[in-house]
């Protein structure tokens, strides 16, 4: 089995919860067989008219990132939902994406094989936008103009001014902001187009956008 074939069976679990819940998620995940993960701090951006979408009722958020094989991911996600009840409003959201989708066409053959085995149609997608600090709200505004209900902003900060951290092997400087938006599949391209035009993403240094399909999800409200 090649390295990329192995990646086709590797999934990332994203869990967005209110501040203070991240450590509880990690502790329960360890009990379920995932030895470690990462917690990022962020803030929700949903306005009062759409508080239910993404369960972003509270502004301060913690984003828990876990990685494991697909079988374990399915089991852990179901058990975490049983424990933390993501299906209830404002309890958070949890979803998985396939790691090979970050690599794009390298895993295309593996994904096509899964499609032939009867994988369900993708209903939601995850839009990542990385922009300079202070531009995240413009990303949200552009996304909402195209039908988005809101998202989560992560401030990318190192412990020193010259430090960076990596997101999917990309250096993210301390002055950057990451915007995560969960979108229905049928409006994703419109949201991406709106962000690209408003932020002029195609110009060098103005930002990066990429999209991942969401496999399983709990706690998404429309």
Number of domains in the chain: 1
CATH of the domain at 24: 3.30.70.120
pLDDT tens readout for residues 114-161: 444 444 567 999 999 989 889 999 999 999 999 998 899 988 643 344
Low-confidence winner among 69-73, 83-87, 129-133, 159-163 (lowest mean pLDDT): 159-163
Q: How far apart are the first and last CA of the chain?
A: 40
pLDDT tens readout for residues 160-186: 445 555 665 556 555 788 999 999 999
Task: For residue 133, give the nearest of 177, 181, 173 by alpha carbon.
Answer: 177
Q: Give yes or no for a contact between 15 and 25, defined as CB atoms under 8 angstroms apart.
A: yes
204, burial (CB in 10 Å: exposed 0-12, middle 13-18, buried 19+): exposed
Q: What is the pLDDT of residue 56?
A: 42
Q: What is the pLDDT of residue 85?
A: 95
- For range 55-78, the mean pLDDT: 83
Distance separating alpha carbons of residues 206 and 199, to the nearest angstrom? 7
* pLDDT greater than 50 at residue 101: no
Boundaries of domain holding 34? 3-218
pTM assigned to the model: 0.74
Q: Give yes or no for a contact between 128 and 17, defined as CB atoms under 8 angstroms apart.
A: no
* pLDDT greater than 70 at residue 54: no
């Amino acid at each position: 089995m090649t390295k990329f074939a192995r990646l086709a069976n590797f999934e990332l679990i994203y869990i967005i919860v209110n501040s203070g819940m991240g450590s509880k998620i990690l502790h329960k995940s360890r009990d379920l067989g995932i030895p470690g993960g990462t917690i990022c701090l962020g803030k929700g951006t949903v306005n009062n008219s759409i508080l239910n979408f993404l369960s972003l009722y509270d502004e301060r958020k913690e984003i828990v990132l876990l990685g494991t094989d697909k079988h374990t991911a399915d089991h852990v996600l179901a058990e975490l939902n049983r424990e933390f009840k993501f299906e209830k409003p404002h309890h958070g959201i949890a979803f998985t994406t396939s790691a090979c989708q970050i690599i794009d066409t390298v895993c295309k053959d593996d994904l096509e094989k899964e499609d032939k085995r009867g994988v369900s149609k993708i209903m939601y997608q995850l839009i990542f936008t990385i922009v300079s600090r202070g531009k995240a709200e413009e990303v949200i505004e552009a996304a909402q103009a195209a039908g988005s209900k809101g998202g989560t902003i992560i401030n990318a900060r190192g412990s020193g001014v010259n430090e960076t951290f990596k997101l999917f092997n990309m250096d993210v400087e301390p002055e950057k902001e990451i915007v995560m938006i969960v979108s229905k599949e049928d409006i994703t391209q419109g949201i991406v187009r709106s962000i690209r035009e408003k932020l002029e993403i195609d110009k060098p240094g103005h930002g990066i956008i990429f999209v991942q399909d969401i496999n399983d999800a709990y706690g998404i409200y429309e």
